[in-house]
């Protein structure tokens, strides 16, 4: 009788454990000891070959490979033109490029639209012509929807731009940081003085701002 109770407890416990694991994992690997993760990791190591994907630390620290050594005062004519086309401004010691959220994303989405890629390629070309220290990508939304939702959406949009710049633009990911501000930093009123909706103002607020800090001498 006692043994049956223990077995029943073990069985139910196991079912509960599996349920929690499945729900919490949702997608991807269930945990570090998931046999699928262990197998995939070993296969990944095998694909890397004998050096296991090791990168020389010295090379990483000394400079950003592939970027021209151009000082801010000496930006080439071509880079300058691209920055002008992008509407870039100098904010303090940083170069700021503001891109419309409506150009980059569909409503309520955070995948980069195909139509936006031309602008992003131009941005990448300009960035590659600069001596970059760090790139900060900030996401902003309008005030429609809850604050928490907008904060998450703005973060996802900033992250999506970062992912694009790395994967398609070939920029160094470790130099890029992201921050979602949600609706907290509007540049235009979301409503008119009479309290009615201001769609033009809201459109201006839906944006991604990119700040490029440059290395000094």
Residues that bind other proteins (CB under 8 A): 5-6, 8-10, 12-14, 16-17, 20-21, 24-33, 37-38, 40-45, 48, 52-58, 60, 110, 151-152, 155-156, 159-160, 162-163, 166-167, 173-174, 177
Minimum gap (Å) between residue 180 Cβ and other proteins: 8
Residue 28 or 66: the one with the smaller Cβ distance to other proteins is 28
Question: How far apart (Å, rounded) are the C-alpha atoms in residues 30 and 25?
Answer: 5
Minimum gap (Å) between residue 74 Cβ and other proteins: 31
Is the distance from CB of 103 to CB of 159 less than 8 angstroms? Answer: no
Question: How far apart (Å, rounded) are the C-alpha atoms in residues 111 and 159?
Answer: 10
Residue 72 or 121: the one with the smaller Cβ distance to other proteins is 121
* Closest to 153 measured CA to CA, from 91, 105, 96: 105
Residue 67 or 163: the one with the smaller Cβ distance to other proteins is 163
Minimum gap (Å) between residue 68 Cβ and other proteins: 24
The CA dihedral of 167, 169, 173, 177, to the nearest 10 degrees, is -110
Is the distance from CB of 147 to CB of 195 less than 8 angstroms? Answer: no
Residue 21 or 192: the one with the smaller Cβ distance to other proteins is 21
Question: How far apart (Å, rounded) are the C-alpha atoms in residues 112 and 160?
Answer: 7
Minimum gap (Å) between residue 200 Cβ and other proteins: 30
């Amino acid at each position: 009788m006692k043994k049956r109770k223990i077995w029943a407890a073990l069985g139910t416990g196991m079912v509960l454990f599996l349920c929690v694991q499945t729900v919490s994992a949702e997608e991807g690997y269930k945990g570090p000891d998931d046999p699928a993760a262990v197998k995939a990791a070993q296969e990944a190591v095998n694909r890397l070959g004998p050096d296991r994907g090791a990168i020389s630390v010295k090379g990483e620290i000394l400079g950003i490979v592939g970027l021209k050594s151009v000082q801010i005062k000496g930006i080439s004519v071509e880079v300058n033109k691209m920055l002008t086309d992008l509407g870039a401004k100098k904010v303090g010691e940083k170069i700021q490029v503001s891109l419309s959220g409506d150009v980059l994303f569909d409503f309520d989405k955070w995948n980069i639209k195909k139509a936006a890629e031309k602008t992003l390629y131009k941005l990448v070309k300009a960035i590659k012509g600069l001596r970059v220290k760090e790139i900060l990508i900030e996401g902003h939304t309008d005030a429609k929807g809850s604050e928490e939702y907008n904060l998450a959406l703005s973060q996802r949009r900033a992250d999506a731009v970062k992912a694009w710049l790395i994967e398609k633009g070939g920029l160094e990911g470790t130099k890029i940081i992201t921050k979602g501000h949600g609706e907290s930093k509007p540049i235009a009123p979301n409503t008119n003085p009479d309290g009615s909706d201001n769609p033009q103002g809201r459109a201006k607020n839906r944006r991604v701002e990119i700040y490029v800090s440059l290395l000094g001498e």
